[in-house]
Amino acid sequence: MIFLSTFNITKGFDTWLEMYKDIEPDLNELGIKILWAGTNADETKVYDVTEVKDPSKFEVLTKRDDITQKRIDAGVELETQEVLETISKDYWG
């Protein structure tokens, strides 16, 4: 499954990206991969396109304490995380 999501950040995109690269191996083991991520102009919101092999594994972002704490430390406002839409068809030009 591929979906578009968003969440707020408080410490800028570079801090978030550094944290993501730190947890990326753990996420990859669970079949979770961010295909694209970007931020708004004032770096307070992240938008991402994420592929999840098994949707039940996505809960790790809120259930696994070590990953949750790293996200909080990087300025992710967990309560703002929102899946905007599931992507059923796409095109990469």
Can you spell out the DSSP letters for the chain?
Answer: -EEEEEEEESS-HHHHHHHHHHHHHHHHHTTEEEEEEEE-TTS-EEEEEEEESSGGGGGHHHH-HHHHHHHHHTTEEEEEEEEEEEESS----
pLDDT at 54: 87
Amino acid, single-letter form, for residue 33: K
Q: What's the pTM value of the predicted model, to 2 decimals?
A: 0.89
What share of the chain has pLDDT > 70, as a percent? 98
Task: Dump pLDDT digits (tens) for 46-58.
Answer: 999 999 998 887 7
pLDDT tens-digit series, residues 18-66: 999 999 999 999 899 999 999 999 999 999 999 999 888 777 767 889 9
Backbone dihedral angles phi then psi of residue 12, each to the nearest 5 degrees = 85, 165
